[in-house]
Structure 1
Amino acid sequence: MNNFDRSYVDFTSRSKISLKQPSSFRSEILKGLSLKNKKIPCKYLYDENGIKIFNEISKLEEYYQTRTELYILKNYAKEILSKTNNKNSLIYLGGCSALKAEPLLQAGKQIKYYFPVDISKKHLVKNSKKVAKKYKYMQVKPVVYDFSENVEFPNIVNGKGNILFFPGSTIGNFSEKKAKGLLRSLAKISNREVDLVIGIDLKKDKTVLENAYNDKKGVTEKFTLNLLKRINRELAGNIDTNHFRHVAKYNEKRGCIEVFIESLKGQSIKISNRKFRIKKSEKIHIEDCYKYDENQFKKIAALSGWKKIKSWKDPNKNFSVFLLRS
């Protein structure tokens, strides 16, 4: 495969926080559990097993996000690309899997350069090779990088006309302040005009939102509690996952789903020879998933250096894909 660049870019050693550095995982877990209000960053949900479980979640009846965003992308990919002024470089943030990029890659041969960006090197390289094999005219170069913090985003391309692709409403995992910081850094990826195709989960009925994070089969709970199993595997933990449960509720005031791991009893746990006391009903914060209305996100984007070109929604108005320009 001459179109697959084996000399992939690995920026993990340069970023402030990197999942490729076990010491970072250990330090963040120990620090987060030492706080009065305990917390663990949601990025640590996605180890190899976590990725597999999340793929199960994406197929659940209650979890509308994946299929709805794919519906929009499949139906409007050609129109989206037609408004990008012939930019031919696609940079997929969180692009471990090419599933959501496929509609854009298949919409003609406009995209000549494909840069999937993710922190999971093994899966990233494996799936990038599949893309290179399928689209032989396209130059494919995976980029190992953790963009979850407000760090300087690497200049990984050489001014071919860049389209940033940020699907999955991943921006919703950031507070408004951090989301603005990330969006500002993305706007500066090049000294030329940049486009951003970004997925946004829209505000809707509370029951629909909570069901999406509390499925009947318990797959989402398995996904969340897998984080504790990861801690046991990688950090010599002794956590009994049967003594914890997954909790996800919509906070209407904040406009977000709040996800916690709740202790079912008073207990002591040990991680890397450090002991932690956890009270009954005490919650460990795992993630926030912010939901927006279109005008609200348009304002956030504008304050971060982006202007809206157009947005597309599904018929039920559950999800929106924005095209923004720096």
Structure 2
Amino acid sequence: MHDETNRFMTDVISGLSAQPRRLPPKYFYDAIGSALFLDITRLDEYYVTRAELAILQRHAAEIADHVPAGAVLVEFGSGASTKIRMLLDALPQLAGYVPVDISAELLQQEAEELHRDFPALPVWPIAADFTTEFALPAAAGSRAKAGFFPGSTIGNFEPHEAEHFLACAAHTLGPGSAFIIGVDLEKPVETLHAAYNDAAGVTARFNLNMLERMRRELDAQLDPQGFRHHAFYNSAACRIEMHLVATQPQRIRVDGHTFDFETGESIHTENSYKYTQTRFAALAARAGWRVEASWTDPQGLMSVQALRCRAG
């Protein structure tokens, strides 16, 4: 069994053994899950991508001013390359681009397309879990570094996990580095509910694909049709929660372990925290970053923040 499969197995057994039961959202993103998420970003209800693209289109030159000429740009969780292309167009003096993503297949495909479209830009892809320590390519050397983390993925972390991630990014990128990061903002509950419960059911398929992936890769015995997608806003925690809820008694068997579910019992698969500008700035400060600038779309749905590393 490969190391990645071993980690997946360990995390599934650990998560299903916990109370309440949970599965890490990073396992959404196999090839099928990544394609489904791309479909989500094109939905009318899903404001995140549309709002962030509007910010990048309008403010790319200003954002680029925070990235020094000759820097290496590291994208954490690169996925599809739509957003990075806008930034690359405004950063002709980059020394290199390092996309980091857990989906090796999508990573290679996007890297090849970027190399064709930006032939003068060295592209050094890294297939890795960006939430853990990873080494930058030797070619990056001692050049200045900048990070890019769009899509409000920071909201998928618990606040203490987000702080840890930002601290690790500060260590990876180094003192004085820049970090361009997308942060989802608080907004009416109706907007949030529609974004995570789309009429076409794409988000539901994305969530349920976690169970299908367990069957494909871990030989888990389970009935995906015995669970339903459930997403709601937890106002006390300022977060959207996504769950897989058993519609009747269910049993999951994997690697000699058996997990029984009563009707209504759920597996917590994802959080998506929403921030105010003030709360996010305080979180970043605790991790060694200060906010240099922030931009929002006209409706104030999303923000893009330019951070500067204070760590020494």
Q: Given the alignment of the two structures, is residue 120 of structure 1 paired with residue 103 of structure 2, yes or no?
A: yes
Q: Deviations over 1:204-250 (max 9, x none)?
A: 00111111000111111011011111111112223222211011110
Alpha-carbon offset, residue 147 of structure 1: 2.2
Distance 1:262 1:88 in 2: 46
RMSD (Å), alpha carbons: 1.5
Partner of 2:227: 244
* Unmatched tracts of structure 1, length 5 or more: 1-18
Whole-Å separation in 2 of the counterparts to 1:202 and 1:306: 19
The whole-number CA distance in structure 2 between the counterparts of 1:145 and 1:268 is 32
Q: d(CA) in 2 for partners of 1:131 and 1:82?
A: 22
Amino acid at match of 1:154: A
CA distance in structure 2 between the aligned counterparts of 1:120 and 1:240, rounded to whole angstroms: 25
Contact 1:132/1:139 (8 A) holds in 2: yes
Query: How far off is 1:145 after superposition?
Result: 1.7
Sort the Cα spacing of 1:114 and 1:256 in 2 relative to 1 into closer, same or farther, 3 A: same
In structure 2, runs of 5+ residues without a counterpart are: none
TM-score, length-scaled by structure 2 = 0.94
Of 262-271 and 218-227, the range deviating more from structure 2 = 262-271
Partner of 1:211: 194
Who is 2:80 aligned against? 97
Q: Which residue of 2 aligns with 1:298?
A: 281
Question: Taking structure 1 as the reference length, what is the TM-score of the superposition?
Answer: 0.90
Cα distance in 1 between the residues matched to 2:58 and 2:19: 47
Partner of 1:101: helix, strand, or coil? helix
How many Å separate the matches in 2 of 1:203 and 1:21?
Answer: 35
Q: Map Cα deviations across residues 85-115 of structure 1 (whole Å, 9 max, x no partner).
A: 4353211111132111011111151223111
Q: Report the Cα distance in structure 2 between the residues aligned to 1:190 and 1:95, rounded to whole angstroms.
A: 16
Structure 1 residue 160 displacement after superposition: 1.9
2:262 matched residue in structure 1:
279
- Within the alignment, does 1:154 sit opposite 2:135 as a pair? yes
Task: Report how far residue 318 of structure 1 moved.
Answer: 0.1
5 Å-filtered alignment, 1:1-326, equals 21-148=4-131, 151-156=132-137, 157-326=140-309
The worse-fitting range, judged by mean Cα deviation, of 244-253 and 118-127 is: 118-127
1:48 to partner: Cα distance: 0.9
Deviation digits for residues 172-195 of structure 1 (CA, Å, limit 9, x no counterpart): 111111111111111122444200
Deviations 1:47-102 (A, max 9, x none): 11111111111111110101111111111111111233435321111113211101
Give the Cα separation in 1 of the matches to 2:9 and 2:144. Answer: 39
2:184 and 2:297 map into 1 onto residues whose CA distance is: 11
Indicate the percent of aligned positions where both proteins have the same amino acid: 36
Distance 1:124 1:108 in 2: 21
Task: Verify the 8 A CA contact 1:153 1:185 in the aligned structure 2.
Answer: no
Give 1:153 shift: 4.6
For the 8 Å contact 2:145–2:174, the answer to whether it is kept is no
AA in 2 matched with 1:277: D
> Which range moved further: 120-129 or 193-202?
120-129
- Distance change >3 Å, CA 192–CA 267, structure 1 → 2: closer
SS in 2 for 1:114: strand
Quote the Cα distance in structure 1 between the aligned partners of 2:46 and 2:173: 35
Q: Tell me, in whole angstroms, the C-alpha distance in 2 between the residues paired with 1:175 and 1:308.
A: 20
State the Cα distance separating 1:138 from its structure 2 match. 0.8
**Residues 241 and 271, structure 2, Cα contact 8 Å, conserved in 1:** yes
Q: How far apart, in 2, do the equivalents of 1:55 and 1:144 lie?
A: 19
Moved beyond 6 Å, runs of 4+: none
Cα 1:190–1:313, aligned 2, differ >3 Å: closer, same or farther? closer
Contact 2:70 2:95 in 1 (8 A): no
